[in-house]
Amino acid sequence: MSSRRVLLLSGTTEGRRLAGRTPVISSLAGRTRSPLLPPGEVRIGGFGGVEGLIGYLRSARIDAVIDATHPFAAAMTSHAAAACAATGVPLLILRRPGWTPVPGDRWHRVPSLPAAAALLPSLGERVFLTTGRQSIAAFAGVPGCWFLSRSVEPPEPPMPSRLEVLLDRGPFTPESEHAVLTSHAIDVLVTKDSGGSAAKLDAARALGIPVVVVDRPPLPGGIPVVPSVDAALTWLDELTA
């Protein structure tokens, strides 16, 4: 597969792992100033929409695309689907499985961030937001709640009037998450169903704290989806065969 030019739309742990196992051109959105860089060739920044991505696939002579972006990067996934359809370049979506509740979980699944914001006043007053800095605006108008928001970089307005920002980057442990929840007297957690390990869910379960889980946006139809790096490598091998 080394002779094939593969564009990897990355930004996730799975993307970095895949880049460490096969030659790819990793593309990062550039939304953080100090991203964790994967091995090999890296490009940072957007493509300029669908037309820009079409142009890149052609000019860079890309033979295959793997979308290993965050499960909530719906715009990039949509652009990749459209650009690959227009150019005939094979596309694979690599997505870790979503979360499944276990006994003891007090989950409230919602379809969107606005739905999460609307539900909060009925669940608690001290809210831990782990939905990312670009999601803060959805909670700016929620009445009667105090918020703790965690992100790698500071959020920008609009923001809730009662907000404390915790700048940190994972991975986190159940013990460290337990400490955050108890030291800030959190009584409800809000998170996106990003999948993978989730120490915050373990800590919330242990403390009996309700969790608002925002469901993933739907994926474009007709595109193969795999749950692991090994499965993505198999797909690449089959393209060569």
Name the one residue in this structure whose structure tokens are 């474009």: 220
Domains (ranges, CATH) in the chain? 6-97+218-240 (3.40.50.720), 107-214 (3.40.50.720)
Q: Which two tokens stand for residue 12?
A: 């996730």
Residues 6+ apart with CB under 8 A from 238: none
Q: Which of 20-24, 37-41, 73-77, 158-162 has the lowest mean pLDDT?
A: 37-41
Kindly report the number of other CB atoms within 10 A of residue 96's CB atom: 17
Mean pLDDT over 233-237 rounds to 96
Residue 159 vs residues 134, 165, 190: alpha-carbon distances, Å:
10, 11, 15
pLDDT in tens, 76-123: 999 999 999 999 999 999 999 999 999 999 999 999 999 999 999 999
3-state secondary structure of 228: coil
- pTM (two decimals): 0.91
